[in-house]
Amino acid sequence: MTMEKIYAFIFVLNCFLNIHPGARAIGINYGLNGDDLPSPSDAISLLQSRNISKVRLFEPNTAVLTALKDSSIDVILGTENQNLQSFASDPSAATSWVNTNVVPYASSLNFEYIAVGNEVIPGDLAQYVPSAMQNIDAALFAAGFAIPVSHAVSMSVMGPSFPPSNGVFSTEATPIMTEILKFLSSKNSSLLVNAYTWFPRQSEPNNVQLEYALIDDAAKPVIDNSLIYQNLFDAMVDTVYAGMEKVGVSNVDIVVAETGWPTAGSTDATIENAQKFNNNLIKLLASGKGTPRKPGKVVEAYIFALFNENLKPEGVEQNWGLFYPNMTEVYHVDF
């Protein structure tokens, strides 16, 4: 079987899995910016005990990847932003990265995506993303793996986009996003999007209802022509879909690579609100409803984050975890 046929088979298989409402739709981000975190083996055991079958790693870590072997946990593995320029300009750098961080683990670990960089569009590093993705993809192909590559974008790639049907990429982001999306389309891969309802609520509290941001059924809906939005999460996802369609791409799915709610450090950052958001998110995705723009298409999402991380800046940044470093719950989430 050629690698192109393997890519096509994976795409069809993913479509089949998406027939089942909520199937394997929730994962978690596992960050390592703490000096008091449990061992990787204990962290992976915690994931298994909570039936969490998907994890995102921001960068390779030998101990974590080793602990994930034979765990039946799917992995999004990220590359560090500092490597984007070398990946783009030197295919051998991409090959070396794949040989070091993928090849030793792929026989006993399912890499769902390789995320080539995180949140660099717009910005100085954005110019390197398309070529870096292509070279990592070629290195995976040469090593015999049909692992999709992608890039994780924040909502800052969007221009003024209310309501969701008006979604459009910013002038600065449009050329790079168009190139990335056409590449993803050719490879049957997905776009990774970091979509936090927390940030619009914080920046525009007078215009964004708390209930709307928390995916609460009590929220006043937003009407967008014939579409009705009951929550901001769906609206953010569909905003990006609308932007994709405006650059001529309609066959690339969105995976929400980060979303969540903090428990301390700012207005509305409470344990109660975080628990509401994440449990409501899981309920929404498990329903299999999809979004108003893409009804019936299950959205895959990764909650940020597994642990509170004490080496991040003080305040909100240290308070996104579902668990304390001693592995006790900050609050309960029904995975």
Tokens of 69: 């072997």
Tokens of 262: 């903090």
CA angle (262, 327, 316) in 5-degree steps: 20
192-209 CB burial, b ≥16 within 10 A, e <16? bbbbbbbbbbbeeeeebb
Report H helices in the chain. 3-17, 40-49, 62-68, 84-89, 91-101, 129-143, 174-186, 198-203, 210-213, 232-246, 271-286
119 is catalytic: yes
Residue with structure tokens 């991380």?
Answer: 309
Q: Which of 80, 112, 172, 258 is catalytic?
A: 258
Q: Which of 59, 80, 112, 119 is catalytic?
A: 119
Please check whether residue 216 is in contact with residue 277, taking contact to mean a CB–CB distance below 8 angstroms: no
Residue 302 has what DSSP assignment?
E
Total number of residues shown for the chain: 335
258 is catalytic: yes
- Residues designated catalytic: 119, 258
